[in-house]
Chains A and B, each alone.
Chain A
Amino acid sequence: MDRRVPRTVIDPKFRQVGFVPPGATPPPARSHSVPNDARSSSELSLSGSSLSPVMIPPPRHASADGLPSVVRSAASPVPIPASPLRRDTVQIPIGSYNPSESLLGSSPMMSPSRQLDAVSEFSDDVPTSARLGRSGSGKFASSFPSSSGEMMTMKITGGGGGGNTPKSSLTTASVVKALPGVSEKDRGALIEVQNEGISKPQKQKTQKLRGVPFKRLSVQRRLPAKESGEAVKPSASSGGALPALKQGKVVKPSSQKKDGPQVTAPVASSEKKVVDRIPDKDRKKDVPHPRMQFDDKHRVEKAKRRAVVNQSEARNRVELFRHLPQYIHGTQLPDLESKFFQLDPMHPSVYKVGLQFLSGDISGGNARCIAMLLAFQEAIKDYSTPPEKVLVRDLTAKIGCYVSFLIECRPLSISMGNAIKFLKNRIAKLPHTLSESEAKSTLISDIDRFINEKIIIADKVIVRHAVTKIRDGDVLLTYGSSSIVEMILLYAHELGKQFRVVVVDSRPTLEGQALLHKLVAKGLNCTYTHINAISYVMHEVTRVFLGASSVLSNGTVYSRVGTACVAMVANAFQVPVLICCEAYKFHERVQLDSICSNELGDPDVISKVPGRNDLNHLHSWADNENLQLLNLIYDATPSDYISMIITDYGMIPPTSVPVIVREYRREHLWI
């Protein structure tokens, strides 16, 4: 408890957000959690990294979230034995790293420069290699022969040691995740454990955020690359890596560390090359591919030739949005439906999902992503490798073909893009030794795990986080219909919090009405209004909860059109804006406006107002070349309107999004 006070003082941003004020009476559940809290905080201080102003350690909220006390008591012992154990396993093999970590930890107010010192203390050559690595592969190669073989090995050990920090904690997280078949209650505990594990790297990361110990960053970055290098060539350490893949990655670091000192200089150099080349390639790969620009006639023609769906381009398009596809709505659906049984390359389940996207039966980021993954799962189940083809390549091509079909039905959301990236990565990393059925079952379980961890459990974690931000007497405003916000509101209501909800809606989708139905049916006190009245209702609102389609790496929130307006007005009225978004929706792309990348909906719905037959002014005018109707689907909310983003890794300010994107991207794809 004592830790919270300094934290609120340290962090003005959060104070502004209006976290639980020191004077407020804590909810009853919190009193239970005090011992747990104290223990975990002392544990934290032991382990060291000073509490960052950026991150709130997740354990607290988890303990305050009103889990049944049985679960809590079951949960609380778990992290405590777990974490020393983890540290032991990690730290024992490498002596050189240990003191530096404790040194890092014991001085919470350490300046970035001292951190740097500490890093260079335990591995002198890391900075140099890191610098070299950053300065491009060519340069590195030229300098490479000049350094001695001994240096080489030292580099590797040093790199391995330096990279351990994130690795170790990540592994604990994945150990927890890897446990199969946990009951629902246990899962709650699991989340806690997971958070416990994750909170540590986060803190280190936030230190980086503040202090820019640049070299350390690059050292840590190198490590996952090294892992991937190993995985690509399983022959090098096939003994260790293969089981490690299956049963979680606990074994992995140790095997790696064993590898490190053992290898002789020439081997090291060859591996070194792999290690250092990959990050460069990766870095280039990191830059997101430019998307298809639909004003590029050449490429559009090409794409059309391949397309399954016959789309006719809409006329009367808005000049500003030439680069986005817009087709005449409703023309493709009957055509595709008729082709359902004769379509050769497409798997029926994928086809079905595509049609559902097209008709708008499935909407919402999570729903679409889950539907797509399940369809892929079906497709993988029915997949058999054609003769003279390799499973990895052929399946990747197949998935790519499915994806392009889905894109034709409706442009992918960023979350779906991430899920696809994950799946392709998993396919690419399938060990060659697996038989086809094994590979398939691995992939199927991987997809299951992705859905479960990244979406379902992540949602639960977010709900627990977000609920701590709802106080009695609050007036919460939400816009449109976000599944996660709905879960938060319903959960807070279940907990017996007294609050009122303002549902803001806008044309043409009017999703808010669906949300309103659900909330009112559960007995929540609701106010319904349209987006124009936002300035009117904002006076009484104390919190704004919004969902997001994606969070981009510059902190921009890409979400349902209108979200930016709501956030802007809230900001003008100094009401905190909380964005709830699963971390798998984060993306490294950046965007400044809502025009460069967006999705165009059916323009005809603009001219028709449902239930208002008197409003048919634009009915006969749609063909006039001077009139365009623009139905944007998304907009980009600038990060300065956002007080906080609630994700499954905790509650972060928008400035920390790139950290999450950068540090956890590997983990996303790895699981």
Chain B
Amino acid sequence: MPDVQALVNDFVLKLKRRKIEGSHASARHTAELLRSVISQQRMPHTNQAGALIDAVKAVGEQLIAANPVELAVGNIVRRVLHIIREEDLSSTATAIEGLGLSAGSDDDDEGQHVDHPALSAAALAAAARSTLRAPSLQTLLEDIPRSAVTPQPPSSGGDSEGKSKSADKNLRSRKLKHDVIEAINELIQDIDTCHEQVSEQAVEHIHQNEVILTFGRSRTVKEFLCAAKEKNRSFRVFVAEGAPRYQGHVLAKELVGKGIQTTVITDSAVFAMISRVNMVIVGAHAIMANGGVIAPVGINMVALAAQRHAVPFVVVAGSHKLCPLYPHNPEVLLNDLKSPSDLLDFGEFSDCMDFGSHGGSPLLHVVNPAFDYVPPKLVSLFITDTGGHNPSYVYRLIADYYSADDLVVKRRSTS
């Protein structure tokens, strides 16, 4: 346990110092950390799932607090919690299956049926993994009584046939942990490969001679565009440089390297150019439950311009960026203010900054936020690794990945 704690502390420190940034990196790291937390967790004989959930929640709370703006961390914590619950449910179900097959098969049918519309790779994997993949709505209904009487199903199973199957139970306890770790591995793999799954859909959205505007740099966008290029679509891309990080330059370089016609424009020219653009494709920092997007600063401006000219505004993102929270005042509460040195030379304005020391407050403030919030009405389409979705559908998508109990990680663990 102490070595896990050291790992956790290390990661927390990195998050706090913003050494790890970007949803992909932080999501991956979080998943790996939680995997080691779970593998080191000693399993009690009863209520194994509860113990695992508590452990994950305790760590998750620290991680989320370390950088609340890095929503991917919280997403992964919740995903892992969801995985634990699901594995627990399925193992319980297999246990119950021996008793009453009819109920299980009934559930199974229904589950498969409801699941189909939102078939995701992860969901498919989960469905294949467990004989009973509970549909989310059913999970919601089931979860309420279950969380109230969590210990009961395993113990009741144990009670009925416990004495004869103590060896089996031991095996099951190890099996739960094993399954959860397995599932987390799959999650990590999903995070790593989400680009591929997103970019597979590129040809469906990019046609010949299209003019695409993108902003800053997102790996998903890059892969998306390159995938379309590989399928021999020819199109041109306008890249807004994305001050103050100017990652657009990097993206432009990468696209040019792939042979895509690329034009770099300043951010201020977005409005001027958007009238000649067929589609805006941007990456996101996080997708909120209401369909709003937290994205690098400046994208709201692009979205407004796109709306003005009725240009489709497409957000490409892996499913680890789906956040089950509803934003409240996201411009302020889900934002980071960066150093003014990105905008102004300290040497040049140092005299101005403490100019007002006689008056109490400095005369000059420099605002350098990191993120923008794009309201759902400005987004035309989300392309995730599970396909294209409307902003209004995101809440439903989220129900596939997260269980309702985990939405608030913090309060659960404290209570």
If the complex has contacts A595-B272, A627-B264, A629-B263, are A531 and B243 also in contact, measured as CB distance less than 8 A? yes
Residues of chain B within 8 A (CB-CB) of A562 are 266-269, 271
Contact yes or no, B271 A635, CB < 8 A:
yes
Q: Contact between A527 and B272 (Cβ–Cβ < 8 Å)?
A: no
- B305: interface (CB < 8 Å): yes
Majority secondary structure of chain A interface residues (helix, strand, loop or mixed): mixed
Which B residues form the contact surface with A (CB < 8 A)? 236, 238, 241-244, 246, 249-250, 252-253, 255-256, 259-273, 275-276, 297-298, 300-301, 304-305, 308, 331, 335, 340, 343-345, 348-349, 352, 355-356, 363-369, 372-373
Is B363 in contact with A617, judged by CB distance below 8 angstroms?
no
Given A318-B263, A618-B264, A626-B262, residue A564 in contact with residue B271 (CB < 8 A) = yes
Q: Are B243 and A630 in contact (CB under 8 A)?
A: no
B366: which of A508, A521, A529, A621 is its contact (CB, 8 Å)? A529
> A584-604 CB contact bits vs B (8 Å, 1 = yes)?
000000000111001000000
CA of A281 to CA of B32 in the docked complex: distance in angstroms? 80
B265 to chain A: closest residue by CB:
A630
Do A506 and B268 have beta carbons less than 8 Å apart?
yes
Residue of A nearest to B347 (CB): A611
Beta-carbon nearest neighbor of A562 in chain B: B268
User: Are A629 and B264 neighbours in the complex by a CB distance under 8 Å?
Assistant: yes
Q: Which residues of B contact A568 (CB under 8 A)?
A: 271, 301, 304-305, 308
**B242–A532 touching, CB < 8 Å:** yes
A231 surroundings in chain B (CB, below 8 A): none
A534-588: which have CB < 8 Å to B? Answer: 534-537, 539, 561-562, 564-565, 568-569, 572
User: CA separation between A659 and B264, bound complex, in Å?
Assistant: 39
Shortest beta-carbon distance from B212 to chain A in Å? 14
B235 to chain A, nearest CB (A): 12
Say whether B263 contacts A535, CB under 8 Å. Answer: no
Interface contact B369-A533, CB-CB below 8 Å:
yes
Q: Chain A nearest CB: distance from B208 CB in Å? A: 16
Q: CB < 8 Å: which of A513, A525, A630 contacts B363?
A: A525
Give the Cβ gap from B261 to chain A, nearest Cβ, in Å.
5
Cross-interface CB contact of A621 among B246, B256, B276, cutoff 8 Å:
B256
Residue ranges of A at the interface with B (Cβ–Cβ < 8 Å) = 318-320, 505-508, 513, 516-517, 520-521, 523-537, 539, 561-562, 564-565, 568-569, 572, 593-595, 598, 606-607, 609, 611-612, 615, 617-618, 621, 624, 626-632, 634-636, 638
Residues of chain A with a CB closer than 8 A to B267's CB? 506-507, 530-532, 562, 565
Cross-chain pair count, CB within 8 angstroms? 186
Residues of the B chain whose Cβ atoms lie less than 8 Å from the Cβ of A528: 340, 343-344, 364-367
B247 to chain A, nearest CB (A): 9
Given the complex, which residues of A lie within 8 Å of B345, measured CB to CB?
611
Once the chains bind, are B266 and A626 in contact (CB under 8 Å)? Answer: no
Q: Tell me whether B297 and A595 are in contact (CB under 8 A).
A: no
- In the complex formed, the residue of B with least CB distance to A572 is B304
Shortest Cβ gap from B360 to chain A (Å): 11
Indicate if the CB atoms of B266 and A506 lie closer than 8 Å: yes
Q: How far is the CA of A439 from the CA of B36 in the complex (A)?
A: 92
Closest to B375 in A: A572
Residues of A within 8 A of B364 (CB): 516, 520, 526-528
Does B368 lie within 8 Å of A507, measured CB to CB?
no
Contact (Cβ within 8 A) B262 A627: yes
B260 to A: closest C-beta gap in Å: 7
Complex CA gap A526/B367 in Å reads 11
What are 18 of the A-B contact pairs (CB < 8 Å)?
A: A520-B363, A528-B343, A530-B343, A530-B368, A532-B244, A535-B297, A536-B335, A569-B301, A593-B276, A607-B249, A612-B246, A617-B250, A617-B252, A626-B259, A627-B256, A630-B238, A630-B263, A632-B266
State whether A507 and B365 are in contact (beta carbons under 8 Å apart), knowing that A532-B298, A562-B269, A598-B272 are contacts in the complex: no
**A621-B253, A626-B260, A632-B272 as given contacts; A561 in contact with B305, CB under 8 Å:** no
Q: How far is A505 from B352 in the complex, measured between Cα atoms in Å?
A: 17
